[in-house]
Amino acid sequence: MKKLLTPILLGLTILSLTACKHPGKEAETITAAASENTDEIFKDVYVDSYGEKIEVTINNTKNTATIHLNGKTFDLKKSDALPEYTASNEEYQYSDIKGNITFLKKNVDMVLFHLKQAKKESGPAKMASY
């Protein structure tokens, strides 16, 4: 009986090791999913004069904006009818118009976040010489 136990255990060990080493479809799925993610995404973090921070993620491919403010997440859809970059849903509206970042609750006209960014200089001013 002892003579049969060793070859049986050895055979089961070899069988279990070779049975687990077959290629699966999981590796193919991961590769395919990684190549499909070609969205044009921009992420910015703004801090206002009160120290409040807002994180804005804009997906230009899907025309969506995701806003993170005070531990809450808001998903908005881009509005083409409004000026520059504006996104909204039923309750909230985000806009970035000429450097003025505004996030407000629409039904009560309450501004949750506002930041006016300084103008960016394009370079030294050119003077006309006569």
The model carries a pTM of 0.60
Residue 31 phi/psi, 5-degree rounding, is -65, -40
Backbone CA torsion sign across 71, 46, 114, 64: negative
Residue 18: its pLDDT value, please? 63
State the pLDDT confidence band at 20, using cuts at 50, 70 and 90: low
What is 45-91 written as a DSSP string? EEE-TT--EEEEEEETTTTEEEEEETTEEEEEEE-SSSSSEEEE-SS
Can you tell me the mean pLDDT for 8-29? 60
Residue 64: its pLDDT value, please? 92
Q: Which residues have a Cβ under 8 Å from the Cβ of 97 and sit 6 or more positions away?
A: 83, 84, 85, 86
Residue appearing with tokens 């930041």:
115
The chain-wide mean pLDDT, for the chain, equals 77
Tens digits of residue pLDDT in 93-115: 999 988 899 999 988 889 999 99
Amino acid present at 98: K
For residues 86 and 2, give the distance between their C-alpha atoms in angstroms, rounded to a whole number.
79
- Tell whether the model's pLDDT for residue 28 goes beyond 60: no
Q: Which residue in 29, 46, 37 sits closest to 101, CA to CA?
A: 46
Name the more confident of 119 and 13.
13
Tens digits of residue pLDDT in 29-87: 555 555 456 778 889 999 988 889 999 999 988 989 999 999 999 999 998 877 788 99
- Tell whether the model's pLDDT for residue 120 goes beyond 60: no
Residue 92: its pLDDT value, please? 93
Residue 123: its pLDDT value, please? 47
CA atoms within 13 A on the CB side of 26: 3
Q: Which residue in 38, 46, 42 sits closest to 69, CA to CA?
A: 46
For residues 31 and 104, give the distance between their C-alpha atoms in angstroms, rounded to a whole number.
40
